[in-house]
Structure 1
Amino acid sequence: MSWQLLLGYLPTSSERRVTTLERKRKEYLDGVRQAFEKGGTSSAPTGKARGLDEAIWHQISIDVPRTNPHLELYSYEATQRSLERILYVWAIRHPASGYVQGINDLVTPFWQVFLATYIADSDVESGMDPGQLPKPVLDAVEADSFWCLTKLLDGIQDNYIFAQPGIQRQVRRSEI
C-alpha cells in the first residue's frame, strides 16, 4: 500500500481507500474492455485484428517479451498479457506521448510488488505462474499497476513527448 499512498493513487484517509480502490479498479477494467473490444473480439491473435492502434501494439508486442528476461515471472503468458493491457491502455489515454520503449520497465516494479501482496516471494522464485491465481486477483494487480504507472508518469510525461520539453528544461536548469 506504500506505493499507492506515496504516488497519490490511494487517499490518505483510510475510510476512503476501499471505495477508491473499487472505483479505480472498475474504471481501469472498463477501459480495458473498451480498448480491446472496439474493433473486434478480444481473443483475436493480433493487434490489427482486434482493431487496436497497430503502431502502438507493435512496439508493445516487441518490448513485453524482452521485459526482465532473467526473471521467470515475466516469461509467463498471464504476466505478458497483463503488461500488454496496462501499456496499451496507458498509451491510448496519453496520445501526446503514446507508448515509448522503456515504459514497460517502469511498470514492472509495481506489478511485482502488488503481486507479492497475494503470493510469497518464494513462490515467484520457485516459478509459480501468476495465471494460476484467481482472475480478480490478477485484475487487481493489473489495475493497481496501471494507476501507479499513470501517477508516476504524470510527473515526467514531458520527458516522453515530441521534442522532450521536460528534458530540455532540466538541461537548461543544470547549465545555470
Structure 2
Amino acid sequence: MMRKKPKAVPEWLNSPLWSTLPPAPATADPFGAEFSPPRPLTPKPLSFVPPPPSYEQAVGSYAGGGEGRGEEDATGAALRAHLLADFKTALSKKVISMGELRRLACLGVPDGGADVRPLLWKLLLGYLPTERALWPYELEKKRSQYSAYRDEFLLNPSEKIRRIEDSKLPRKKELNVVRSGLLPRSQVINEEHPLSFGKSSLWNKYFQESEILEQIDRDVKRTHPDMPFFSAKSNQESLRRILIVFSRLNPSVLYVQGMNEVLAPLFYVLKNDPDASNSASAEADTFFCFAELVSGFKNNYCKHLDNSQVGIRSTLSKLSQLLKKHDEELWRHMEVITKVYPQYYAFRWITLLLTMEFSFNVCIHIWDAILADPEGPPDTLLRICCAMLILVRKRLLVGDFTANIQLLQHYPLTNVDHLLHIANRLRGTVAS
C-alpha cells in the first residue's frame, strides 16, 4: 500500500527566517538571527490590489547606499510624511473611498498619525458614513442616543422610581411639589421595595446584575495600570459606563472578562483625537465603535455557543486548518507529535484580539490592519495568528510540549511588518 506523500512546504516558507535552525547568537539577543530581515520574496500573482510597502521596508531597501544612519533616518521621516499626507488627502474628500483607505491602512498607520487614526477607525468600523456632509447629523444622533442609554441603564432603582412617579404627576403638581429625593414609605409598592423578589422588581434586577458590575469595576482598575491615561479616574469611569451599557443592551453576551482589554485601544485612540469636540465625545463614539467591533466576534464570547459551529471552538479549529493548509510540517509537529492544540495558546489571542500578546503601541498598529482588511476583522485576525506561528516555526519545530506552550503563551518580540507581510500572504484562505 502506497504511503501518502506529505504536502510540500510552500516555496515562500523556505526563507531562512523561518525554515532553518537559528545559528548560535553572536550578541546578547536571546533569539539570535531569527528576527533579522528575510531575503526579498517574489510574490505570487495576487487577486487583490497590492498594498503599498511599509515605510520600514522602504527604508530598509535604501540602507545599502546613502551616507550613513543620518540619511537613512531622514529618508524614513520623508516617507512617513508622504504616507501621512496620502492618508489626509484620502480623508479630506467629500466622499471617502473605502477601497483607497483600506489599501493605505492595511499595513498600519505610520508613526505620527495620531491625528489620522481616530477618523480612520470610525470609518473602518462603519461608525461614520463615507459622505462627509452627513457626519454632523450622524454624530449628533449617535451621541444623543448614547446619552439616552446612560440615563436608562446607569440610574439606580431609586432614581428610576422617582422619575416614574414624577412623570405621573400632573404638570401643576409637579411644579409645586417639594422633592425630597426619596419616596414616602406609603408610596412604595411591593414590587418597588428593595427586598422584593418579584421578577418585575427594579431592585431585584439591580442586585442580580451587581456581580457583573463588580467584575467590570475590577477589570477596569486592572486595565494597563502602568499607563497614566488609564489610571485617570475620569477615563476609568468612561470605560466602566461603556461596558455597563453594552452589557445591558446585549443580554445574550453580557460582560465577558477581558472585554476591558478590547475596549482600551479604541477609547485611547478616540480620546486622544486632536479635535477637542471629538475628544470630549469620545465615550459615546467609543461605545458604538466597540459594539460594532465586538459584533464581529460575538459568537466567541457566548458560552452557550462554545461547542457549536460558530463558537470559539470552531474558530480555534479554523486556525488549526489554516496552519495545516500552509505549513503541514509545523501543524503535524504541533498537533500530532507534541499535542499543542490552539486552545492552549490561541484562546486568549482571539478573544482579546492580541491585546495581551504585544505592547500597546504595537497592538494599535496591528489593529490598523485588522480593521482595514476587506476580508473582515475575524478572518484577518486568524491569518495574523497563523502568521505568528509561522514566524517562530524554527523554534516550534525543535520544541516539546512545555517549551512550545511557554513560547506561545509569552510570544517574543518580533518585527510587526514581517508579521503583517506573512499574514498578507495567507489572504483568502480562511475556511468558512
TM, length-normalised to structure 2 = 0.34
Shift of 1:118: 3.8
Higher helix share: 1
**What per-residue deviation string (whole Å, max 9, x for no partner) do you get for residues 62-113 of structure 1?**
1010001110111111011111000000111111111011110111111111
Q: What is the CA-CA distance between 1:169 and the residue it aligns to?
A: 2.3
CA contact (8 A) 1:159 1:167 kept: yes
Q: 2:147 matched to 1:6?
A: no
Question: 2:239 is matched with which residue?
Answer: 83
CA distance in 1, matches of 2:228, 2:152: 30
Query: In the alignment, what sits opposite 2:284?
Result: 143
Find the counterpart in structure 2 of residue 122 from structure 1: none
The 8 Å contact of residues 242 and 283 in structure 2, kept in 1 or not, is answered as yes
For residues 93 and 105 of structure 1, what CA distance do their matches in structure 2 show? 19
Contact 1:92 1:98 in 2 (8 A): yes
Q: Does 1:171 align with 2:289?
A: no
Deviation at 1:41, TM superposition (A): 4.5
Provide the residue aligned with 1:19 in structure 2.
Answer: 137
Distance 1:162 1:115, change over 3 A: same
**Partner residue, 2:249:** 93
Kept in 2: contact 1:60–1:84 (CA 8 A): yes
1:160 to 285, 301, 314: 301
Give the Cα separation in 1 of the matches to 2:129 and 2:268: 22
Q: Which residue of 1 aligns with 2:154?
A: 36
The alpha-carbon deviation at position 174 of structure 1 amounts to 4.3
Q: CA deviation at 1:166?
A: 2.6
Q: Which amino acid aligns with 2:293?
A: L
* RMSD of equivalent CA atoms: 2.5
User: How many residues are paired up?
Assistant: 155
SS in 2 for 1:68: coil
Aligned to 1:128: none
Q: Which moved more, 1:52-61 or 1:27-36?
A: 52-61
Within 2, Cα distance between the matches of 1:78 and 1:101?
21
Q: Distance in 1 between matches of 2:230 and 2:239?
A: 9
**Runs of 4+ in structure 1 displaced over 3 angstroms?**
171-176
2:208 is aligned with 1:67: no
Contact 1:156 1:166 in 2 (8 A): no
Q: CA offset at residue 152 of structure 1?
A: 0.3
- 1:126 maps to what in 2? none
**Is the contact made by 1:61 and 1:84 (CA closer than 8 Å) also made in structure 2?**
yes
2:265 equivalent to 1:112: no
Determine helix, strand or coil for the equivalent of 1:40: helix
Distance 1:73 1:40 in 2: 33
Residues 16-63 of structure 1: CA deviation (Å, up to 9, x unaligned): 111111101111111011111251359xxxxx8xx4721210110110
Q: Could you tell me whether the CA contact under 8 Å between 2:219 and 2:257 is conserved in 1? A: yes
* AA partner of residue 252 (structure 2): A
- Scaled by the length of structure 1, the TM-score of the pair is 0.79
Q: Is the 8 A contact 2:270 2:279 kept in 1?
A: no
1:75 and 1:41 mapped to 2: Cα distance? 29
| Equivalent residue letter for 1:157 | K
